[in-house]
A and B are shown apart, each in its own frame.
Chain A
Amino acid sequence: MSLVKVEGLRRLFPVSPGLFRRKTGFVHAVDDLDFEIGIGESLGLVGESGCGKTTTGRMLVGLETPDQGSIVLGQADGTQMDVVNLRADQRVKFRRQVQMIFQDPYESINPRRTVFETVGEPLLIHGIGDLGTREEQIREMLRKVGLAPPESFMFRYPHELSGGQRQRVAIARALILQPRLVVADEPTSMLDVSIRISIMELMSRLAKQMGVSYLYITHDLAVARYMCDRIAVMYLGKVVEIGETEQLLANPLHPYTQALLSAVPVPDPSLPPPQVQIKGGIGKAVDPAPECRFVDRCPQAADVCRSTPHPPLEDKGGGRLVSCHLVDRSSI
């Protein structure tokens, strides 16, 4: 049973050569995306900058409106909530169920509010409890995220906290409403290596405890390996491969996944350094040609890749979906 089902999701951004000029084209930031997230599952969205992973996350929480496609959130009573066209009475309900954790804890927390106000604001907005019960909930949440004893943190301002502590506050705020889905956009990439692991552990522990699903956006495959049950690899607005984390990393099928994985540095000096088979950097998909998005950089590109449209995401067995003409079922 899936919690979120995304179908044909598309978001285009207009480009124009100058201010006040006519639009000359569209960046296909997110182009025809399909995926599902199960209840309590953590799906990693991995790719290079500009591949559309953040735009996807923002659409899921309602910060960005899709141009096309549907996002459906399964409800506890078995009904489906249409996230793209929310009725006025559904908006509050939706926001209680879906929360976001941003990348930079120095930017995402209001510097003029105490930890108590920041973490308690969602409760206030949703009119949950009176001051006494809210305080109890805030204490409990702070303890859960490791800001203990709560009394010594509740009345501090963000500038009195370290980066790791701020990110714990952001996690507390996102989880205090007991949401069902949390979109986490690179929540550890701004933090020092030594703090990173403890924040990752905290997030996976709380997800298990509270039954939260994550859409975990990261550029780091090693981080995704420890945080995610499944990984979706994005390239220029398209998902090119989805699969169970360990299987995908052990046997990547799409040439882009293979290139991405081979470029990840391994902390072992006795291994040879990565050999990158693909040249050049990622561009922007401005009015892309119909053929495969990766064809210009693909080391395996064949004639079929240039003469036919972008391949659909196909099930290659074992829950692995790959969008490539050259991968057949026998590769699994």
Chain B
Amino acid sequence: MTAPKLPLEESGGRAPLLEVDGLVMRYDTEAGEVSAVENVSFALARGEAMGLVGESGCGKTSVALSLLRLAPENARYQSGSVRWEGVNLLDLSDQQMREYRWAEISMVFQGAMNAWNPVYRVGAQIREAMDQHFDPPLGSSETEQRIDQLFQLVGLDPAVQRRYPHELSGGMRQRAVIAMALSCDPKLIIADEPTTALDVIVQAQILEELKEIQQDLGLSILYISHDMAVIAQVTDTIGVMYAGKMVEFGSTQEVFHRPSHPYSFLLLSSIPSVTGPRRRPMSLEGTPPNLLAPPSGCRFHPRCPWATEQCRQEEPPMMPIGPSQWAACWNAEQVPQMGEPAP
């Protein structure tokens, strides 16, 4: 099946920076082939923030790692393309790919705040990344100056760069990680669960700062998170993934207002909220499928309350729902309005 082509002009006429088209990636394991990313397509414009959401193991991190070609050794790209300003990153040699990593696309890895080398000062570790990736390399005073600026940008005192990681709180370490991701002036930052381990107040502060940085620098950010509430507040577009497939894609406003895939609907209905009427969150029964042997037809059909015979047999393609919303469901029109009960 060919990948659905998303009309890119919908993203407000902005030039796409990144276009992922029909990406299929599998892991070879002893137990067999794991279908981790199955026919995923999306586009990200310059200056735009996109969110990738789904349960653990749905393939969101695999997609992100594919953009940087950092997936583990046993990953096989079967088909599809990852175009960065028109260049298919999957065709590049490892040497060529190095020029894109960090300088064009950087990543804040999940748990990166705990990955600082404990015996080096924070500033020295950022300097190392800059020395590796700046071509031609910056002079040492220029590097110093830049690190000072970066720290101010992420809300840290520049003096913090002379401290060791254990002397910083979790929020400060995460801010320093963001400074490092920004150090080589990338156009896109992939942020994998950037605030998951942080307390709410620090989380809100960091998200606010990221949003400001994004606007000030005209940066694109791809947020990966299981937290729908965080995604609602920081993104322009959202892709919902389930069992390696993207099941819904569209503007964050539309998807949250009227989710059209049963999985997005149930996922959104299952989050408790502190505001609004006290609505009992719905529970999403069952567990995600084993990707060694994914279900036939729609991968969500075993857990879907609206599944029909067609869903068991045929795989639904991405179909347009609204002006900037697509869902891969045969029965999208049956998905109730938010707040209404499921059958």
Shortest Cβ distance from residue B337 to the other chain A in the assembled complex, whole angstroms: 14
Contact, CB under 8 Å: A194 / B270: yes
A107 at the B interface (CB under 8 A): no
Contact, CB under 8 Å: A264 / B228: no
Q: How many angstroms from the CA of A201 to the CA of B55 in the assembled complex?
A: 19
Contact with B along A267-298 (1 / 0, CB 8 A): 11111011110110110000000000000000
Contacts A267-B232, A281-B201 hold; do A222 and B253 have CB atoms under 8 A apart?
A: no
On chain A, the residues within 8 Å of B285 by CB distance are 198
Contact, CB under 8 Å: B199 / A281: yes
Complex: chain B residue closest to A47, CB-CB: B199
Cross-chain contact of A197 among B55, B227, B281 (Cβ < 8 A): B281
Contact, CB under 8 Å: A48 / B199: yes
B140 at the A interface (CB under 8 A): no
Contact, CB under 8 Å: A273 / B256: no
Cross-chain contact of B253 among A164, A192, A262, A270 (Cβ < 8 A): A270
Contacts A267-B228, A269-B233 hold; do A219 and B211 have CB atoms under 8 A apart?
A: no
On chain B, the residues within 8 Å of A219 by CB distance are 199-200
On chain B, the residues within 8 Å of A84 by CB distance are none
Cross-chain contact of B204 among A249, A263, A269 (Cβ < 8 A): A263
Complex: chain A residue closest to B53, CB-CB: A193
A24 at the B interface (CB under 8 A): no
Total residues of chain A contacting the partner, CB 8 A = 42
Contact, CB under 8 Å: A225 / B232: no
Contact, CB under 8 Å: B272 / A223: yes
| Interface residues of B, dominant DSSP | helix
Contacts A223-B272, A266-B274 hold; do A274 and B204 have CB atoms under 8 A apart?
A: yes
B220 at the A interface (CB under 8 A): no
Complex: chain B residue closest to A261, CB-CB: B274
A90 at the B interface (CB under 8 A): no
A221 at the B interface (CB under 8 A): yes
Contact, CB under 8 Å: A201 / B199: no
Contact, CB under 8 Å: B232 / A265: yes
Contacts A193-B270, A194-B270, A281-B171 hold; do A265 and B283 have CB atoms under 8 A apart?
A: no
Contact with B along A241-267 (1 / 0, CB 8 A): 000001001000000000111111111
Q: How many angstroms from the CA of A246 to the CA of B226 in the assembled complex?
A: 26
Contacts A193-B228, A193-B267, A276-B208 hold; do A48 and B273 have CB atoms under 8 A apart?
A: no
Contact, CB under 8 Å: B272 / A265: no
Contact, CB under 8 Å: B274 / A225: yes
Complex: chain B residue closest to A276, CB-CB: B204
Q: How many angstroms from the CA of A149 to the CA of B298 in the assembled complex?
A: 29
Complex: chain B residue closest to A50, CB-CB: B199
Contact, CB under 8 Å: A270 / B257: yes
Shortest Cβ distance from residue B305 to the other chain A in the assembled complex, whole angstroms: 14
Contact, CB under 8 Å: A193 / B226: yes
On chain A, the residues within 8 Å of B172 by CB distance are 281
Q: How many angstroms from the CA of A282 to the CA of B205 in the assembled complex?
A: 13
On chain B, the residues within 8 Å of A261 by CB distance are 274
Contact with A along B197-213 (1 / 0, CB 8 A): 00111111101100100
Q: How many angstroms from the CA of A83 to the CA of B233 in the assembled complex?
A: 46
B271 at the A interface (CB under 8 A): yes
B93 at the A interface (CB under 8 A): no
Cross-chain contact of B274 among A195, A249, A281 (Cβ < 8 A): A249
Complex: chain A residue closest to B171, CB-CB: A281
Q: How many angstroms from the CA of A306 to the CA of B272 in the assembled complex?
A: 38
On chain A, the residues within 8 Å of B201 by CB distance are 48, 259-260, 263, 276, 278, 281-282
Shortest Cβ distance from residue A15 to the other chain B in the assembled complex, whole angstroms: 15
A13 at the B interface (CB under 8 A): no
B3 at the A interface (CB under 8 A): no
Contact, CB under 8 Å: A265 / B233: yes
B275 at the A interface (CB under 8 A): yes
B268 at the A interface (CB under 8 A): yes
Shortest Cβ distance from residue A249 to the other chain B in the assembled complex, whole angstroms: 6
B233-292 interface (Cβ within 8 A of A)? 233-235, 252-253, 256-257, 266-268, 270-275, 278, 280-285, 287
B230 at the A interface (CB under 8 A): yes
Can you list 10 A-B contacts (CB < 8 A)? A49-B170, A192-B55, A192-B226, A193-B271, A197-B270, A222-B274, A267-B228, A267-B268, A275-B208, A281-B202
**Which A residues are closer than 8 A to B by beta carbons?**
48-49, 162, 164, 192-198, 201, 219-223, 225-226, 246, 249, 259-271, 273-276, 278-279, 281-282
**Which B residues are closer than 8 A to A by beta carbons?**
55-56, 169-172, 199-205, 207-208, 211, 226-230, 232-235, 252-253, 256-257, 266-268, 270-275, 278, 280-285, 287
The 8 closest A-B pairs by CB, nearest first: A194-B284, A265-B229, A263-B204, A48-B199, A267-B229, A222-B272, A197-B283, A198-B283
